[in-house]
């Protein structure tokens, strides 16, 4: 520190003073000239020492500031993965629990089918590795599609779009594109013949796919908890989105009509309307049933290039063609 530097320079000055005093006795030059020169050199040396220490201190503070800024960015990045930007900004400013009303967002619920059977035949380490491989592949598309991951429970994966720009058509397009990304990723991972886990002979005939449900609606979002604060969304529309997943078909995206209304023309090319069968309409002696009519839902798949091809797509052949028609 500065004390060490001053001590060193003081010792040097003392030594030079003793040497100068001894030499001045024999020198013909007047003493005041030598003393003035000596004092000037000593003062210059002390000034240099102080300036050096100040510069070192300034640089230390600069490095500490850079390190603190880097750590702050890491913390904000970590928090940004836990909660969306609007919630994060309010939480940082208010320093308390924050909730927000979501007027119109699009939910995606998904489930990996066949994974439960597979996990029962694997050791725990391989189960975690396989889940991490799948989820990491899905996570790589979150920023690109501008969607936010809400939760992962076992082999279920939940995301939402539209937290930044509620009510825009873009959020539904982004969610559907993200769903297509998930289908591509799961297809790519399960088709690897040299996969360290799925490529084993005992798993060759095991079919793994995804069931995905998408629905647009409202909700309430907020951060709960203190020990492990998490962002969650509640509301009836989250239950509808979950139901879209559970009643969907393997390896296609099951969409509600509220989501289809928000889709752009580009995404509508991938949509197939599934009309409920007439047999589901109850007739009580000619009286109209009081039960609500079945919801009209839609299926989407990225491989369908035209509307006619969507009906004949191999992924949709389990649907009765009498009850499926193209979306108009």
pLDDT, one tens digit per residue, over 218-233 is 988 877 766 667 778 8
Dist CA 132 CA 113 (whole Å): 16
- How is the chain split into domains, by residue range? 2-82, 97-326
pLDDT tier at 152 (50, 70, 90 boundaries)?
confident
| Best-predicted range by mean pLDDT (169-173, 212-216, 294-298) | 212-216
Q: Is 107 helix (H, G, I), strand (E, B) or coil?
A: strand
d(CA 242, CA 249): 13
CA-based nearest residue to 83, from 96, 98, 72: 98
Radius of gyration of the chain (CA): 35
Residue 222's SS3 state is strand
Instruction: Report the distance separating Cα 259 and Cα 37, nearest Å.
Output: 88
Q: Phi first, then psi: give them for residue 276, nearest 5 degrees.
A: -60, 145
The mean of the pLDDT values for the chain is 73
Mean pLDDT of 23-35: 57
Q: Is the pLDDT of residue 275 over 70?
A: no
- For residue 29, the SS3 value is coil
The yes-or-no verdict on residue 10 having pLDDT over 90 is: no
pLDDT of 307: 39
Asked whether the beta carbons of 160 and 231 are under 8 A apart, the reply is no
Give the helix ranges, DSSP H, for 163-313.
169-190, 236-246, 257-260, 265-268, 307-312
Helix (H), strand (E) at residue 126: helix 124-139
Write the CA distances from 63 to 51, 56, 57, 67, 68, integer angstroms: 18, 11, 10, 6, 9
41: pLDDT confidence band, cut at 50, 70 and 90? low
pLDDT tens by residue, 278-303:
444 444 454 544 444 557 888 888 77
Distance from C-alpha of 133 to C-alpha of 232, rounded to nearest angstrom: 24
Query: According to the model, what pLDDT value does residue 173 have?
Result: 92
Place 317 in a pLDDT band, splitting at 50, 70 and 90.
very low
Angle at Cα 135 formed by Cα 131 and Cα 138, nearest 5°?
Answer: 150
Where does the pLDDT of residue 265 fall: very low under 50, low under 70, confident under 90, or very high at 90 and above?
A: confident
CATH of 97-326, one of 3.20.20.150, 3.90.550.10, 1.25.10.10, 3.30.70.1230: 3.30.70.1230
Mean pLDDT along residues 207-226: 84
pLDDT at position 24: 57
| pTM, entire model | 0.66
What stretch of H or E contains 81? helix 31-82
CA atoms within 13 A on the CB side of 97: 13
* Closest by CA position to 188, among listed 149, 138, 151: 138
Torsion-angle region of residue 95: left (phi > 0), alpha (psi -120 to 50) or beta?
A: left
What the block records as the tokens of 28 is: 């013909």
Q: Taking residues 78-107, what's their average pLDDT?
A: 66
Q: What Å distances lie between residue 118 and 67, 124, 125, CA to CA?
A: 45, 11, 13
pLDDT of 310 strictly over 70: no
Share of the chain above pLDDT 70, in %: 58
Is residue 150 a contact partner of residue 231, using CB atoms and an 8 Å limit? Answer: yes
CA–CA separation, 149 and 160 (whole Å): 6
Model pLDDT, residue 314: 35
Q: What per-residue confidence (pLDDT) applies to 122? A: 82
């Amino acid at each position: 520190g500065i004390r060490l530097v001053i001590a060193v320079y003081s010792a040097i000055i003392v030594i030079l003073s003793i040497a100068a005093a001894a030499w001045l006795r024999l020198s013909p030059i007047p003493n005041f000239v030598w003393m003035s020169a000596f004092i000037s050199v000593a003062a210059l040396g002390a000034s240099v020492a102080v300036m050096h220490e100040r510069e070192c201190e300034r640089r230390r503070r600069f490095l500490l500031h850079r390190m603190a800024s880097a750590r702050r960015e890491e913390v904000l990045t970590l928090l940004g993965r836990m909660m969306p930007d609007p919630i994060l900004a309010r939480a940082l400013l208010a320093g308390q629990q924050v909730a927000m009303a979501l007027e119109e967002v699009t939910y995606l619920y998904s489930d990996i089918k066949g994974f439960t059977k597979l996990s029962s035949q694997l050791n725990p380490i391989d189960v975690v590795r396989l889940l991490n491989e799948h989820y990491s592949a899905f996570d790589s598309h979150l920023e690109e599609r501008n969607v936010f991951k809400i939760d992962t429970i076992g082999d279920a994966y939940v995301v939402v779009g539209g937290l930044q720009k509620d009510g825009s058509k873009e959020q539904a397009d982004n969610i559907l594109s993200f769903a297509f990304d998930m289908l591509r990723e799961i297809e790519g991972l399960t088709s690897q013949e040299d996969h360290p886990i799925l490529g084993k002979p005992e798993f060759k005939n095991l079919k793994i796919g995804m069931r995905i449900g998408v629905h647009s609606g409202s909700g309430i979002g907020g951060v709960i908890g203190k020990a492990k604060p998490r962002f969650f969304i509640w509301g009836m529309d989250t239950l509808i989105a979950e139901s879209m997943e559970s009643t969907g078909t393997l390896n296609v995206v099951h969409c509600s009509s509220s989501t289809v209304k928000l889709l752009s023309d580009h995404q509508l090319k991938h949509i197939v309307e599934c009309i409920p069968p007439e047999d589901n309409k109850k007739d009580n002696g000619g009286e109209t049933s009081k039960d609500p009519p079945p919801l009209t839902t839609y299926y989407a798949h990225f491989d369908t290039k035209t509307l006619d091809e969507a009906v004949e797509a191999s992924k949709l052949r389990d649907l009765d063609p009498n009850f499926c028609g193209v979306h108009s």
